[in-house]
A and B are shown apart, each in its own frame.
Chain A
Amino acid sequence: MHIKETFPELYKIRRPVKREEIRARLGDKKGKEYWRSLEELAESGQFEEFLHTEFPRQAGEWDDEVGRRTFLKLMGASLALAGLTSCSYQPPETVVPFVRQPAELVPGKPLFFATAMPFPGGAAGLFVRSNEGRPTHVEGNPDHPTSGTPERPLGERVAATDIFSIASILSLYDPDRSETITNRGEIRPYSAFLGEVRTRLDEMRGRGGGLRFLTETVTSPTTAAQLRSILAAFPGAKWHQYEPAGTNSAAIGAQLAFGQPVNTIYRFERADRVLSLDSDFLSCGAANLRYARDFASKRRVNGNKTDMNRLYVVETTPTNTGAFADHRFSVKPSQLEPFARALAAALGAPGVSTDMSQYAGVAHAQHIAAIAKDLQGARGRSIVVAGEHQSAAVHALAHAMNQALGNVGQTVVHTEPIEAQPVDQVASLRELVGDIEAGRVEMLVIVGGNPVYNAPMDLALTKERLDKIRTPDGKDGLRIHLSLYDDETSELCHWHIPETHFLEAWGDTRAHDGTVSIIQPLIAPLYRGRSVNEFLAAFTDKPEQSGYDIVRDYWRTQRLESLVASQPAAAAAPAATPEGAGGNTHGGTSGQGGAGGQGGAAGQSATGLGATGAGASASPSPTPAGSPNPAPASTPSAGTRTGGATTAAATFDEAWRRVVHDGVIPGTAAKEQSVTVGGDWSANLPPAQTASGGGFEIVFRPDPTVYDGRFANNGWLQELPKPLTKLTWDNAAYMSLNTARRMFGLNENDYTFKGREFNAPLVDLRYRGQTVRAPVLIVPGQPDDVITVTLGYGRTRAGRVGTSTDDKPLGYNAYRLRTSDAMWHGAGLEVAQTGEEYLLAVTQLHFNMEGREIVQSNSLEEYLKGGGDAGHNVEGGASVATHKGAAEVVGKETHKLPGPDDTLYPNYEYKGYKWGMSVDVASCVGCQACVIACQSENNIPIVGKEQVARSRYMHWLRVDTYFKGIAENPEGVHFMPIPCMHCEVAPCEPVCPVHATVHSAEGTNDMVYNRCIGTRYCSNNCPYKVRRFNFLLYQDFETPSLKMMRNPDVTVRSRGVMEKCTYCIQRINYARIEAEKEERRVRDGEIVTACQSACPTEAIIFGDLNDEHSRVAQLQHERRNYSLLAELNTRPRTTYLSALRNPNAEIHGA
């Protein structure tokens, strides 16, 4: 029999895929139809081409400068020389031990130190892994209120991290960081800086006034105390704060509602109904780690838990939160406040006119009654949350609604502000600019931030304006800038002082609930920078005090020992119990990924960095920078997390050790405040803005990956596909489909710019007299006539990665359209076509899965009735094949699925461990922290924009986005993290001619780099498209600082080698070796993969499927469990839990 007859399916696949056919094929199934991109929906020729070419066009082509002839010549020569190279010895290496080895440091065993990353709106508590003194990976601190779960019992705590914290490790080692102190362009010593500052200050002291500090939002208690004491010493001095993307409107909104600044904390774990007014509380940043975890905990339906929260989102531009909503309402920015007013009226909130007739014209008015009813049905168990980017009025309305719903004190908690000095930051900047214009400023000290780049245009700090900083007698004033990079602001300042990275210096910061963390350095400053505290000391009478002393002195005055002593039970526990025994928390003594290799450990091998440097910088040093002696006071948070500070601390030093070790200072959470919204709060409120007739509205948003521009030089974040749009290395002007059709003359059936591939048309955006040129990206769900621009691009002095030049543009600068009266949105934008095009590297089309049903989703109602297509592959699914009866639970089969014996290979019995992973699509919020965590853990390189456009990006884990419904306003979006499935019957394995990819006895699909010759057959045969090939030499083997960043337990791959997810095999090996030494099995939860450790919603669970009580085995028995492409009988070890939605039956069509 011909193979064609045996496997007719194989031959069908090459035919062009027709939409109708797929529909017909899927028609009889319960599956919902999903589409990943507009191109797919449009059946455009280019998409079909994509489907049928294994690698995107040119992906396999050699098109470097070198021509084919030269290439052949070179190949000939290298063939001839190949024999010679194999005759050489390995280059001799040296091994460099310590002179005095620190007690806690064991070569080959990583240590974890608690620290925190300052971020606007609240810091995330971190556990940073240190391999022989080099920080290499960032994970969350399980005891921290934002990133961890301190309310859970010890041993069950987990932590999470966001993309910014994880990627900060790359910023630390960024070779483009500023290295030297410069004065008017010349390198100078710090003493010269101190000298000039002293002289000037002495002059000014006589005159009084003229000194101005401009900082970002300050949450650090020490920094605030320093600034206050400086202000006291210089009576005329002023402290201004400006942050382009901070949480300023929330603060002003609270002021409006309550008459005093309050910080609001939401308790999503108690909320059954949530309404978001343009709040993107599920994306990366600030408190969102906490919120995403709590929200997901109410959303998961597992085992006996059958209730689920419901999320309504009203938003102006598609976000992850909107994607996750049960009901999403897309509105123009100008329509949001009227909607909020109407809803507040329906809920009977104080200060809102209850005359419903005046809200008739509000967008989505027909649904307001249903939403209000649903929210009122959950009094005290609902939340109305307003977005950071909404006006003060919307925030105040949200507060009023929460009060009317009885949520205050239940799901909504008001506390003192976490900012040291809450101010209206725009007003603060305006005041500073006014003072400069009026000649009242003699010395401007810019502490961090980049205001020259990111100030609103009407308050721009231009050179002309800054030159007005003068002394009264007409001499030049002094402008000083402290920052990590020599950036746009440094260029216009007389003095530039390099700042230390937070992993290099002591400091303190507050979490979203006010809890203080001490920032502990992991390494001595690489470039002799100064921390904020050390820098500010220059303006005090102790100008050269070390950061360590400053922070300690401050906490000595705060009587740290009494703070610690007052919290004996709860807070002492983490330090008292040996965490390693449970091994359930990340960063416990389980110390993942620690088995040091022979190859690359810098502390032991001189092939890394300068050998002597390794010893000196090896230990977190609380003594002044450069001191060779390892620090006695720094305490490893994990390795020695046994015993130690068990009793209540009696002395300051004991308390200090404890808080540095734990990463949190107990009892420092902001105090709760009892505030009420008065009935007259809205008395002076101007009527809601309405769009001034026609025209476009503009929405500003911080970029999802480079934020306000501070991460522009971070290649990991640049290359991370932005959630929903999957755009990399650029920002774009988001436009709705209808708007684009109208503007570019597309037909009804057009979903893309035909014939333009990835080239997007460039348009001129004109707003308030400013023009920028931006590429257009059609985004499903964007409201019509609204253009969203993201901030943070178009940098002119960011570094080699982030600088945008004319030859090599990198996004456009949206700050140039921003004015102080329209910080987040405004009306009156003009959009003009230019006829030019621009290449956008979008990963959306890549690695498509041929229209098969990949994401499975159900409504809660349908699911509880026993319906739903989830679990359709349980029968025969390898992971649960041994557990009979699972199929009966489902009692349903939609695919003709292969049974356990339908295979050409003999079935293999996995006797020992059987590693598997479960991914919950219902919990995934698409934040992509897993992608960055994987990149950091597994030494994954970045490839650059041009290579991404060819689909050559190297992420081992990708997060696919699936849309559902009509393109103009998709009903639902699901995110699906796709790592290697580790198929038991892996299609990639039999096709490798050199056995470079083989199966291990525990069921992982191993990749052996040293065998791989780069045929790419495996990738060709992988149905999940998870294999990545090093087409070119993407790794940087040259830059010394980047060598220090690498994980020594993972091979650094070179050109011509295939690679893919290994299930973090280094962490598996580490835990297994530790277990075997103790002659026991690996415990459940002892191995935490990098992606799992980052996930804020616990959507990724890894473990042993042979252990029936393991979490992963239990999850794979859930009814919702299904395998991807189960009909192929690849028997993937990674399985998915289908998505669930909980729509309100009373609302239709939204």
Chain B
Amino acid sequence: MPQIFHRSTNTLAKLSIFGSLFVLLFITWAVAEINRSSWNTGAYDEREQPVQFSHKHHTGDDGIDCRYCHTSVEVSSNAGLPPTKTCMNCHSQLWSDSPYLEPVRASWRDNKPIEWTRVHDLPDYVYFNHSIHVAKGVGCSSCHGRVDEMPLVYQAASLQMEWCLECHREPERFLRDKSEVFNMDYQQENALAENKTAAQLENGRRKKAEYKVRPRAILESCSTCHR
């Protein structure tokens, strides 16, 4: 009785068994990568804004402090977006007839707020509080990146939970002195130390004790961020 299948099908069968395993692994890996990719998280995606406002110019070049506009960052969960009034503090004098600033002047004139595009958008079941992070020595740039180098602001991190937990599990990796919180250039200075990581860890541990940062078990509890 002749064989139905050719001898080579044995190899094919073996290949397809192991091959499918690889394919499954590949798909798993691919899904995980896609999930973390900026395509999915929206990181590094510069958002168009109704006003051509450059953080690079205002913060980097002019040296305006973050808190000049984001006034409630030290007191409230919400860092606060400047009202049109804040823009007009300067721009009623400076560039007061620039066409770029027409939307701002229109807002001021018509008493209609400017509708900015949200860049950092956490899911609705996550409750983030700016003030406590700032109070415990988490720098702006740790999460928001070098805003002073961004003409148009983008999200500099994935904002996924594993990213949050990196710090909630080991805050010493990121903590800095409170006086350095609003220093956009902080990482740069730190890099001058010979062993950057060791220096940060040592400094971070000291700050963690000094600022009474709560233990990992509490920072990791679900209800710390989810309600």
> Quick check: B123 and A596 within 8 Å, CB to CB?
no
Given contacts A107-B76, A1008-B222, contact A99 B83 (CB under 8 A): yes
Q: Report B186-227 CB contacts with A as 1/0, cut-off 8 Å.
A: 000000000000000000000000011011011011111011
In the assembled complex, which residues on chain A have CB atoms less than 8 Å from the CB atom of B121?
Answer: 90, 93, 598
Q: Is B150 part of the binding interface, using a Cβ–Cβ cutoff of 8 Å?
A: no
Q: Report A466-486 CB contacts with B as 1/0, cut-off 8 Å.
A: 000000000000000000000
> Quick check: A1009 and B125 within 8 Å, CB to CB?
yes
Alpha-carbon distance between A605 and B227 when the two chains are bound, in angstroms: 19
Pick 9 A–B contacts, CB within 8 A, sort by A: A106-B75, A604-B81, A615-B113, A1001-B220, A1001-B221, A1008-B222, A1010-B226, A1065-B227, A1068-B223
Query: Which of A309-317, A885-893, A1073-1081 binds B?
Result: A1073-1081
Q: Is B128 part of the binding interface, using a Cβ–Cβ cutoff of 8 Å?
A: yes
Q: Is B66 part of the binding interface, using a Cβ–Cβ cutoff of 8 Å?
A: no
Q: Which residue of A lies closest to B41 (CB)?
A: A89
Alpha-carbon distance between A1051 and B114 when the two chains are bound, in angstroms: 27
- Quick one: which of B81, B122, B131, B227 contacts A598, CB cutoff 8 A? B122
Q: Which residue of B lies closest to A1064 (CB)?
A: B227
> Quick check: A1076 and B127 within 8 Å, CB to CB?
no
Given contacts A99-B85, A100-B83, A1051-B226, contact A92 B127 (CB under 8 A): no
The 3 tightest CB contacts between A and B, nearest first, are A108-B78, A599-B124, A1000-B221
Find residues 119-140 in chain B having any chain A CB closer than 8 Å to their own CB. Answer: 120-129, 131-132, 135-136
> Quick check: A596 and B227 within 8 Å, CB to CB?
no
Find residues 59-92 in chain B having any chain A CB closer than 8 Å to their own CB. Answer: 72, 75-78, 80-85
Q: Report B2-31 CB contacts with A as 1/0, cut-off 8 Å.
A: 000000000000000000000000000000
Most buried by A among B75, B80, B113, B131: B113
Kindly provide the distance from the CB of B81 to the nearest chain A CB, expressed in whole angstroms. 4
Kindly provide the distance from the CB of B52 to the nearest chain A CB, expressed in whole angstroms. 17
Given contacts A92-B47, A1069-B227, list 7 more A-B pairs with CB under 8 A.
A108-B77, A597-B126, A612-B113, A1001-B218, A1051-B227, A1068-B223, A1077-B131
> Quick check: A1009 and B226 within 8 Å, CB to CB?
yes
Q: Report A20-37 CB contacts with B as 1/0, cut-off 8 Å.
A: 000000000000000000
Find residues 89-108 in chain B having any chain A CB closer than 8 Å to their own CB. Answer: 107-108
Kindly provide the distance from the CB of A908 to the nearest chain B CB, expressed in whole angstroms. 9
Alpha-carbon distance between A92 and B108 when the two chains are bound, in angstroms: 25
Alpha-carbon distance between A1073 and B127 when the two chains are bound, in angstroms: 12
> Quick check: A100 and B84 within 8 Å, CB to CB?
yes
Q: Is B179 part of the binding interface, using a Cβ–Cβ cutoff of 8 Å?
A: no
Kindly provide the distance from the CB of A1051 to the nearest chain B CB, expressed in whole angstroms. 4
Consensus secondary structure, chain A interface: loop
Alpha-carbon distance between A859 and B85 when the two chains are bound, in angstroms: 67
Find residues 888-941 in chain A having any chain B CB closer than 8 Å to their own CB. Answer: 911-912
Alpha-carbon distance between A1050 and B227 when the two chains are bound, in angstroms: 6
Given contacts A94-B115, A100-B83, A100-B84, contact A1073 B129 (CB under 8 A): yes
> Quick check: A95 and B129 within 8 Å, CB to CB?
no
Q: Report A84-115 CB contacts with B as 1/0, cut-off 8 Å.
A: 00010110111111111100001111000000
Alpha-carbon distance between A1001 and B215 when the two chains are bound, in angstroms: 9
> Quick check: A92 and B118 within 8 Å, CB to CB?
yes
- Quick one: which of A600, A615, A1006 contacts B222, CB cutoff 8 A? A1006
Q: Is A719 part of the binding interface, using a Cβ–Cβ cutoff of 8 Å?
A: no
Alpha-carbon distance between A1006 and B211 when the two chains are bound, in angstroms: 27
In the assembled complex, which residues on chain A have CB atoms less than 8 Å from the CB atom of B226?
Answer: 1006, 1008-1010, 1051
Task: List residues of A whose CB falls within 8 A of some B CB.
Answer: 87, 89-90, 92-101, 106-109, 594-601, 604-606, 611-612, 615, 628, 911-912, 998-1002, 1004, 1006, 1008-1010, 1049-1052, 1062, 1065-1066, 1068-1069, 1073, 1076-1077, 1079
Q: Which residue of A lies closest to B161 (CB)?
A: A1010
> Quick check: A1006 and B113 within 8 Å, CB to CB?
no
> Quick check: A99 and B127 within 8 Å, CB to CB?
no
Kindly provide the distance from the CB of A396 to the nearest chain B CB, expressed in whole angstroms. 55
> Quick check: A95 and B118 within 8 Å, CB to CB?
yes
- Quick one: which of B42, B77, B85 contacts A595, CB cutoff 8 A? B77
Q: Which residue of A lies closest to B122 (CB)?
A: A598
> Quick check: B117 and A99 within 8 Å, CB to CB?
no
In the assembled complex, which residues on chain B have CB atoms less than 8 Å from the CB atom of A999?
Answer: 221
Alpha-carbon distance between A953 and B72 when the two chains are bound, in angstroms: 39
Q: Which residue of A lies closest to B76 (CB)?
A: A108
Q: Is B116 part of the binding interface, using a Cβ–Cβ cutoff of 8 Å?
A: yes
Q: Is B57 part of the binding interface, using a Cβ–Cβ cutoff of 8 Å?
A: no
- Quick one: which of B111, B114, B127 contacts A628, CB cutoff 8 A? B111
- Quick one: which of A90, A97, A599 contacts B84, CB cutoff 8 A? A97
> Quick check: B127 and A1049 within 8 Å, CB to CB?
yes
Q: Is B112 part of the binding interface, using a Cβ–Cβ cutoff of 8 Å?
A: yes
- Quick one: which of A601, A612, A615, A1062 contacts B78, CB cutoff 8 A? A601
Q: Which residue of B lies closest to A98 (CB)?
A: B83
> Quick check: B76 and A1077 within 8 Å, CB to CB?
no
Q: Which residue of A lies closest to B218 (CB)?
A: A1001
- Quick one: which of A597, A1004, A1068, A1076 contacts B132, CB cutoff 8 A? A1076
Kindly provide the distance from the CB of B102 to the nearest chain A CB, expressed in whole angstroms. 15
Alpha-carbon distance between A657 and B141 when the two chains are bound, in angstroms: 43
In the assembled complex, which residues on chain B have CB atoms less than 8 Å from the CB atom of A1002?
Answer: 218, 221
> Quick check: B135 and A107 within 8 Å, CB to CB?
no
Kindly provide the distance from the CB of A986 to the nearest chain B CB, expressed in whole angstroms. 13
> Quick check: B125 and A1001 within 8 Å, CB to CB?
no
Alpha-carbon distance between A605 and B115 when the two chains are bound, in angstroms: 9
> Quick check: B80 and A99 within 8 Å, CB to CB?
no
In the assembled complex, which residues on chain B have CB atoms less than 8 Å from the CB atom of A1065?
Answer: 223, 227
Kindly provide the distance from the CB of B133 to the nearest chain A CB, expressed in whole angstroms. 10
> Quick check: B83 and A101 within 8 Å, CB to CB?
yes
Q: Which residue of A lies closest to B84 (CB)?
A: A99
Kindly provide the distance from the CB of B108 to the nearest chain A CB, expressed in whole angstroms. 7
In the assembled complex, which residues on chain B have CB atoms less than 8 Å from the CB atom of A1076?
Answer: 132, 135-136, 212, 214
- Quick one: which of B124, B217, B224 contacts A1052, CB cutoff 8 A? B124
> Quick check: A99 and B108 within 8 Å, CB to CB?
yes
- Quick one: which of B122, B123, B127 contacts A1069, CB cutoff 8 A? B127
> Quick check: A595 and B129 within 8 Å, CB to CB?
yes
Most buried by B among A93, A99, A606: A99
> Quick check: B118 and A1077 within 8 Å, CB to CB?
no
In the assembled complex, which residues on chain A have CB atoms less than 8 Å from the CB atom of B80?
Answer: 97, 106-108
Kindly provide the distance from the CB of A1066 to the nearest chain B CB, expressed in whole angstroms. 5
In the assembled complex, which residues on chain A have CB atoms less than 8 Å from the CB atom of B214?
Answer: 912, 1076
Q: Which residue of A lies closest to B75 (CB)?
A: A106
- Quick one: which of A90, A97, A101 contacts B114, CB cutoff 8 A? A97
> Quick check: A95 and B75 within 8 Å, CB to CB?
no
> Quick check: A606 and B124 within 8 Å, CB to CB?
no
In the assembled complex, which residues on chain B have CB atoms less than 8 Å from the CB atom of A1004?
Answer: 223
Q: Which residue of B lies closest to A995 (CB)?
A: B222
- Quick one: which of B40, B116, B124, B136 contacts A97, CB cutoff 8 A? B116
Most buried by B among A92, A108, A605, A615: A108
Alpha-carbon distance between A298 and B90 when the two chains are bound, in angstroms: 63
> Quick check: A1077 and B125 within 8 Å, CB to CB?
no
Alpha-carbon distance between A1008 and B126 when the two chains are bound, in angstroms: 10
> Quick check: A1000 and B115 within 8 Å, CB to CB?
no
Q: Which residue of A lies closest to B109 (CB)?
A: A99
Alpha-carbon distance between A605 and B82 when the two chains are bound, in angstroms: 14
> Quick check: A109 and B127 within 8 Å, CB to CB?
no
Kindly provide the distance from the CB of B144 to the nearest chain A CB, expressed in whole angstroms. 14
Most buried by B among A87, A106, A601, A1066: A106
Alpha-carbon distance between A1010 and B225 when the two chains are bound, in angstroms: 12
> Quick check: B78 and A596 within 8 Å, CB to CB?
yes
Alpha-carbon distance between A598 and B132 when the two chains are bound, in angstroms: 15
Q: Which residue of B lies closest to A1003 (CB)?
A: B221
Given contacts A101-B85, A1000-B222, A1006-B223, contact A109 B76 (CB under 8 A): yes
> Quick check: A97 and B227 within 8 Å, CB to CB?
no
In the assembled complex, which residues on chain B have CB atoms less than 8 Å from the CB atom of A1062?
Answer: 223, 227
Q: Which residue of B lies closest to A1051 (CB)?
A: B125
In the assembled complex, which residues on chain B have CB atoms less than 8 Å from the CB atom of A611?
Answer: 113, 115
Alpha-carbon distance between A521 and B27 when the two chains are bound, in angstroms: 58
